Structure 1
Amino acid sequence: MADSLAPGGLTEDIEDLKAQVRALTAQVKTLTQPAGPDAEETASDDPGPDEADDEEHWQFPPFILLLDSPDYEGELRALVEWVEGVLVPGYLAEASADARWCHRWTDHPIAVARLHALWLAWQELTDPATSGYTGPSVWHRDHYDPCMRELRASTGSFQGCVKGEHQVAHRMPALVPSAWTLPVDSE
């Protein structure tokens, strides 16, 4: 009844919001359920058929920096396919001093982390079932634009890389000397 009173495009906005609320509800339910072998016994209420089906299909994607081998390599391989197959050809113009890009971006852990987060958001926000019709706009505004500003800035992850050349000299050393550690005496 409320939908029939809604003017013009407001109906679509309401449907988008409903889809987002459903997705967030599923996320909250999954996050707040106790983990471990006793989780099923301590669940307070039995989910209905629709909720059980949603929970079976819903999985949180792993954040790439938290993965160990071989899971890391598998997730990186999928990320490379998306970055090289969708992001680079569709979104990134030629690199410049103001908009850097490194062809060896996988050698930059911060770039891998940011691009993985961008890809996870892409997966969620380009699915109308989870984000409605405004998802792609939200992805561009809230995820793509800030990510690219950070990555491609002259002070970003690719600051030492220039047009087709990858520089490793700008990396942090494995062990940073500290004033807090005392040298070991060799007596």
Structure 2
Amino acid sequence: MSEFATETAYPVAPFVLCLEGEEQRVAMAGLVDWVSGLLLPVYGREVTSRSPWCPRWWEHAEAIAQLHALWLAWQELTGPNGGLTGPAMWHRDYLAPTMQTLRDPDGPFAGCRAGGHRPKTTPAVEQFPA
């Protein structure tokens, strides 16, 4: 955990959904390391039907987007320029709402269990009239 406390081993990158190829692979590797090495060991509460978590969270685009945004905020607010209140702001403004959204029973992990992933069906979208 200490490697995350001082600085990240990965460069701060643009938002992960805007990346492609090798840049996206590197960003995802950093995100996976941060989620596995810091976020879940410290903040990953027990999985229940009222607070689901998917063991294959990286297969949920919404989870990738939200967790990457959370990681970017963590880097900014807990780094050397985050100030003394940066970590408190990160907990209040970013961690709590993100985890509440992700772990909501109707959120992106609805139907997933500790032992399994359930893919979601994307809502239908009608063609916009030209």
TM-score (normalizing by structure 1): 0.59
Judged with a 3 Å threshold, the aligned counterparts in structure 2 of structure 1 residues 107 and 133 are, in CA distance, closer, same or farther, namely same
Determine whether 1:113 maps to 2:61.
no
Judged with a 3 Å threshold, the aligned counterparts in structure 2 of structure 1 residues 130 and 99 are, in CA distance, closer, same or farther, namely same
Of 88, 91, 112 in structure 1, the residue corresponding to residue 43 of structure 2 is 91
Q: Partner residue of 2:90?
A: 139
Structure that is richer in helix per residue: 1
Distance 1:131 1:163 in 2: 34
Could you report, residue by residue, the CA deviation over 1:4-46 in whole angstroms, capped at 9, with x for unpaired residues?
xxxxxxxxxxxxxxxxxxxxxxxxxxxxxxxxxxxxxxxxxxx
Judged with a 3 Å threshold, the aligned counterparts in structure 2 of structure 1 residues 134 and 172 are, in CA distance, closer, same or farther, namely same
Note if contact 2:54-2:109 (Cα within 8 Å) is conserved in structure 1: yes
5+ long unaligned stretches in structure 1: 1-58, 182-187
1:177, distance to aligned residue in structure 2 (A): 6.6
5+ long unaligned stretches in structure 2: 1-10
Q: CA-atom RMSD, angstroms?
A: 2.0
Amino acid at match of 1:133: L
Determine whether 1:68 maps to 2:16.
no
Runs of 4+ residues over 4 Å off in structure 1: none
1:75, distance to aligned residue in structure 2 (A): 0.3
How many correspondences in the alignment?
119
TM-score (normalizing by structure 2): 0.83
Judged with a 3 Å threshold, the aligned counterparts in structure 2 of structure 1 residues 179 and 115 are, in CA distance, closer, same or farther, namely closer
Distance 2:103 2:26 in 1: 26
Structure with the bigger RCO (C-alpha within 8 Å, sep 6+) is 2
